[in-house]
Amino acid sequence: MSDKTFYATTPIFYVNAEPHIGHAYTTILVDVVTRYHRLKGDDTFFLTGTDEHGEKIQKAADAAGISPQAYTDQISSKFRSTWDDLGIRYDEFIRTTEERHKKTVNEILQTVYDKGDIIFGEYGGLYCIGCERYLTEKELVDGKCKDHDTVPEYRSEENYFFRMEKYRPWLIEYIEDNPDFIRPERYRNEVLGILREPIGDLSISRPKDRVPWGIPLPWDDNHVTYVWFDALINYYSALESQGTTERYWPAVNHFIAKDILKPHGVFWPTMLKSAGLPIYKHLNVHGYWQTDTGKMSKSKGNVVRPLDLKDKYGNDAFRYYLLKDMSFGLDSTFGELGLAERVNADLANDLGNLLNRTLGMLNKYFDSVVPESAEPTEADNELLTSFKALPADIDVFFEKLQFDRGIERIMESVRLSNRYIAETKPWELAKDESKKERLGTVLYNCVEALRCAAIALSPVIPDKSLELLAQLGLGDNYTIEGAGNWGLSYAGTKTQAGTPLFPRIDMDELRASVEADVATGDTNMSDETTAIATGEAVSAETEEVTGIVHKDEVTIDDFAKLEFRVAEIVACENHPKADKLLVLSVKLADEERTIVSGIREWYDAEDLVGKKVIIVANLKPVKLRGILSQGMIMAAEDADGNLAVSALDKDIASGSEVR
Ligand code: ME8
């Protein structure tokens, strides 16, 4: 296996609901990443699929009045067809009800059992059906599961257990020795936090007479296994069944959201270790797409359907927005107006204008044929340098999972190309016959800029990139290096303007329809979207620290509306898009939140980690330069401009209320 092997996975999704924008995000993200690696010439494999066993699937089938198999067939094919409609180029789609998968699960179970790592016992605890696992008291918020907002039920029964606790010291050491095993760092820290205390043994089976919808244990067919011991193994069984295990394992990059960090960061590596299998390479964890009513769920009725957006805005516009508007690892708010503004600004304006102007001028001055280029002059240098550095720059950002910044880097070159046109003024050159050669060079450079940008953007907007290249008279045979190899366009190539790649979205019309939805309450728009629709600005100013200002007196009841809590800063980094902002990851007991704060002028990111501060915990979340901030850190600033964050004079547990 060489460094040029790249195997990437999405979670296998539960078939108890149809695909929504959250599932689409992870799957589109992995599609972008694997397209990028194919473009680099890597031996690439992309796996997705569906998770089909377990109690909640059985319940969903019962509710639909059909057998679990018929039910899972139906929803699994819905996932598959959604991915096909969204142009996802997965190499393999695995279902946990397939024989090939069950075979590998049985083999791994037997190995772990023979090793003495599976024991039989009675267990009582709080079980969440949504998570399909027992929760610890520390994982509850107000007695409820924080991901599903449901009260877990107490259960006690005889189960088989995987002796996970035994592997805790090994896992801590492994994570410490491999700093980029779980990334970004905030999630690595979170897993290390979980591992600081005993993790217990993992219940892996249910009595078959209560939950028949699972895989019978090879040594006791009165018990079945499902969900985590079954589901996680899909990443391995898909290779086993194809005979490609040697080729791709363990060069695997798992992509998941933070909801399933514990199973992937704790259960899965310990299972692999016990089974004597090599440990996967990277666990890459992203945040949630939110709406103003919180995490999307069917029960809340705030589900955003990916195919509706694709139908309305086109696949590539939708993909571009998702990748550009989420900083990997942090939460983001979905908003249709935000999507439309992003598409108009970057794709219709910056990229679309460059193409239209270039093809228009080529038509006017060179009969749509790419002209010869003379030697570049000083005036061309900035443009050429920017594009020549593009592949290496993108690689750095993509390797660091900073997809939004990688895309921004490409758009910087595109915007530079528009400035190049404004500065070189081809329309002026065209007035003077003696400047024809220079005019040719300028337009040749514009064609090259478009060719390179189209290649660089092709993992994100694959169809439109091909259309763009076709309009330049080029085909689809390129590699990522081609995005930086200046001079590959041939003089004499016939160009052909087509329909606009990204037609401008009429914002007035869209705003009016959003306002109508807001008025009737018929909306799942985000705060940001609603704010844009009603003309309120949402900006970084919201968090600005302004010093002491005496305000009107308030009653104790007014004051009681505010919730102040102690928060421990567990991670901190610079905001990727704003010089004055820091992005902090804070813990309130077991709850983790992101807070964007304007204190970067006074604190370096690393100085804040480990501090306990006071925050306003019930501020309405707001997006600050693209990142969702869920609270505000209290800080004091004096007349000389010194600033200090709030501190406590004794160690108090994080999450404690400040009164
Ligand atoms: O957990 N924002 O399946 P699942 C971003 N079957 N991503 C989101 C999201 C949101 N609001 N909501 C869901 C399971 N996702 C198990 C996994 S793997 C061996 C077994 C995405 O259908 C994200 O990738 O609940 C998240 O981790 C996953 O869907 C959960 O999918």
**How many CA atoms within 13 Å lie on the side-chain side of 62?**
9
Mean pLDDT of the chain: 89
The answer to whether residues 289 and 22 touch, using CB atoms and an 8 Å cutoff, is yes
Q: Is 312 a catalytic residue?
A: no
User: Is the beta carbon of 12 within 6 A of some atom in ligand 1?
Assistant: yes
pLDDT tens column, 582-596: 999 989 887 888 999
Work out the average pLDDT over 353-365.
97
Provide the 3-class DSSP secondary structure of residue 45: strand
Q: Say how many residues make up the chain.
A: 659
User: Is the beta carbon of 354 within 6 A of some atom in ligand 1?
Assistant: no
533 backbone dihedrals φ, ψ, rounded to 5°: -65, -35
Work out the average pLDDT over 378-387.
95
Pairing type for strands 252-257 and 5-14 reads parallel
User: Is the beta carbon of 9 within 6 A of some atom in ligand 1?
Assistant: no
Spot the catalytic one: 53, 101, 295, 310: 295
pLDDT higher at 57 or 275: 275
User: Is the beta carbon of 329 within 6 A of some atom in ligand 1?
Assistant: no
User: Is the beta carbon of 332 within 6 A of some atom in ligand 1?
Assistant: no
Provide the 3-class DSSP secondary structure of residue 382: helix
pLDDT of residue 192: 97
Ligand 1 pocket mutation, candidates 9, 10, 21, 23, criterion most atoms within 8 A of CB: 23
Residue owning the nearest CA to atom 13 of ligand 1: 22
Equal fold, 5-315 vs 556-645: no
Nearest CA among 308, 334, 305, 310 for reference residue 21: 305
The answer to whether residues 333 and 628 touch, using CB atoms and an 8 Å cutoff, is yes
User: Is the beta carbon of 257 within 6 A of some atom in ligand 1?
Assistant: yes
pLDDT tens column, 416-470: 999 999 999 999 999 999 999 999 999 999 999 999 999 999 999 999 999 999 9
Q: Is 131 a catalytic residue?
A: yes
185-189, 275-279, 406-410, 474-478: range with lowest mean pLDDT: 474-478
Q: Is the pLDDT of residue 297 over 80?
A: no
Q: Is 20 a catalytic residue?
A: yes
User: Which CATH code of 3.30.1300.10, 3.40.605.10, 3.40.50.620, 3.40.50.720 fits the domain covering 5-315?
Assistant: 3.40.50.620
Provide the pLDDT confidence category of residue 558 given band limits of 50, 70 and 90: confident
Pairing type for strands 289-291 and 332-333 reads parallel
- Could you say which DSSP state residue 263 is in? I
pLDDT tens column, 384-398: 999 999 999 999 999
The answer to whether residues 452 and 414 touch, using CB atoms and an 8 Å cutoff, is no
Provide the pLDDT confidence category of residue 302 given band limits of 50, 70 and 90: confident
Residue owning the nearest CA to atom 26 of ligand 1: 257
Nearest CA among 570, 610, 620, 615 for reference residue 597: 615
Strand order in the sheet with 202-203: 133-135, 118-128, 153-162, 202-203
CA distance 113 to 110: 5
The answer to whether residues 68 and 61 touch, using CB atoms and an 8 Å cutoff, is yes
Q: Is 551 a catalytic residue?
A: no
pLDDT tens column, 242-277: 999 999 999 999 999 999 999 999 999 999 999 999
Atom of ligand 1 nearest to the CA of 296: 11
pLDDT tens column, 97-117: 999 999 999 999 999 999 999
Per the confidence metrics, is the pTM higher than 0.85?
Answer: no
Centroid of ligand 1 to alpha carbon of 609 (angstroms):
29
Q: Is 298 a catalytic residue?
A: yes
Domain boundaries along the sequence of the chain: 5-315, 336-483, 556-645
CA distance 250 to 282: 9
Pairing type for strands 591-597 and 612-616 reads unpaired
DSSP secondary structure string, 520-579? HT-----HHHHHHHTT----GGGG------------HHHHHT--EEEEEEEEEEE-TT-T
5 backbone dihedrals φ, ψ, rounded to 5°: -100, 130
The answer to whether residues 595 and 144 touch, using CB atoms and an 8 Å cutoff, is no
pLDDT tens column, 181-235: 999 999 999 999 999 999 999 999 999 988 889 999 999 999 999 779 999 999 9
Find all residues with CB under 8 Å of 68, minimum gap 6, and list them.
52, 57, 58, 61, 213
Give the position of tokens 């789609």.
Answer: 93
In CATH, the number for domain 556-645 is 2.40.50.140
Nearest CA among 526, 126, 56 for reference residue 288: 526
**Amino acid letter for position 108:** I
In CATH, the number for domain 336-483 is 1.10.730.10
Q: In Å, what is the CA distance from 369 to each residue of 292, 443, 495?
A: 51, 10, 6
Q: Is 23 a catalytic residue?
A: yes
